[in-house]
A = this chain, B = another copy of it.
């Protein structure tokens, strides 16, 4: 990563070294604010704006990919170093867990889009939202509880219709 930047004449400032190291070493799916917090622990003077500018540059240079993760947890963007292999992000909308899916449908899709439209793909992103296996049961229970509560709610007045 650093090598690639140097080759383009990008200056490797102290701040960028810190950020690059964090992005590389940390697990994936960092958003700007988290990255900023981590960076600030190492250099309290490092500004939030520098984080945004660095991420923007890395994205423009194709060194990181930008994700939304189905906007679970807000409208900020998440970043991960561009991996060798394309993958989809599978986000549980209840617990927020993110799984990565590698599979041939992805490369197949890419090839089809390229040939079908004569399109030159620079970046592709597949995000899936729903409930993970663990949360499906819990979710069912939550719905049940909510319904039960509604049913047993004091209809102190005249007979009310059920919705």
Contacts A/B (CB < 8 Å), 12 sampled: A9-B163, A70-B125, A90-B117, A99-B117, A101-B109, A101-B117, A105-B106, A105-B108, A109-B109, A119-B131, A119-B132, A126-B126
B contact residues around A136 at 8 Å (CB): 118, 120
Q: Which residue of B lies closest to A106 (CB)?
A: B109
A interface residues, Cβ below 8 angstroms from B: 9, 66, 68, 70-71, 75, 88, 90, 92-93, 99, 101, 103, 105-106, 108-110, 112-113, 116-133, 136, 163
B contact residues around A71 at 8 Å (CB): 66
* Assembly stoichiometry (copies): 2
Given contacts A90-B113, A109-B103, A109-B106, contact A128 B132 (CB under 8 A): no
Q: Are B126 and A130 interface neighbours, CB within 8 A?
A: no
Q: Are A122 and B93 interface neighbours, CB within 8 A?
A: yes
B contact residues around A121 at 8 Å (CB): 128-130
The distance in angstroms between the C-alpha atoms of A127 and B127, with both chains bound, is: 9
The distance in angstroms between the C-alpha atoms of A101 and B68, with both chains bound, is: 21
B contact residues around A88 at 8 Å (CB): 109, 113
Task: Contacts A68-B68, A106-B109, A123-B128 known; list 6 others, CB within 8 Å.
Answer: A90-B113, A101-B113, A103-B116, A119-B132, A120-B131, A124-B128
